[in-house]
Amino acid sequence: GAVVSQHPSRVICKSGTSVKIECRSLDFQATTMFWYRQFPKQSLMLMATSNEGSKATYEQGVEKDKFLINHASLTLSTLTVTSAHPEDSSFYICSARGTLTYNEQFFGPGTRLTVL
C-alpha cells in the first residue's frame, strides 16, 4: 500500500511555456503533499507544503507565482511551472502523507523537466 504516482515522468518543453505535473496518492488519502526539487548530485530541497483544501505554504526563495500548487482533493496535487525557463530544468518529486500513514511520507517516482 501507500503508493504515490506522478505524471508525466519526463517532460521537455520550450522556454516560456507552462508545464503541469500531477501527484496522486493511489491507495490512501493524502492530507498533506510536499513538492521537492532536486538538482543533479544535490539533495532534495522542499519547495512547498500543501494541505488539502488550503493554500500551499512555500519555502523561502520559492516564487509562488511561478510554481503554482493546487491540492484540490485528498488524492491529487498539481504543480504548474509557469513561463518555464532553462534554469527550471530539474527533477521534481512529490511526497504524500495521510492520516493513516502515521506521519510517514511516501514519495512519488519524480518528474524530470527539461526546458529548452
Partner 1 sequence: KNEVEQSPQNLTAQEGEFITINCSYSVGISALHWLQQHPGGGIVSLFMLSSGKKKHGRLIATINIQEKHSSLHITASHPRDSAVYICAVRWNTDKLIFGTGTRLQVFP
Chain positions contacting partner 1, by CB under 8 A: 32, 34, 38, 42-46, 49, 91, 93, 95, 97, 103-110, 112
Which C-beta is closer to partner 1: that of 3 or that of 83? 3
Nearer to partner 1, 82 or 105 (CB): 105
Beta bridge partners of 21: 79
Judged by beta carbon, residue 57 or residue 73, the one nearer partner 1 is: 57
Q: How far is the CB of 16 from partner 1 (least distance, A)?
A: 25
Q: Which residue shows C-alpha cell 491540492?
A: 71
Shortest spacing between CB 9 and partner 1, in angstroms: 9
Q: Where are the beta strands (DSSP E) in the chain?
A: 4-7, 10-13, 19-25, 30-38, 45-51, 57-58, 67-73, 76-81, 90-98, 106-107, 111-115
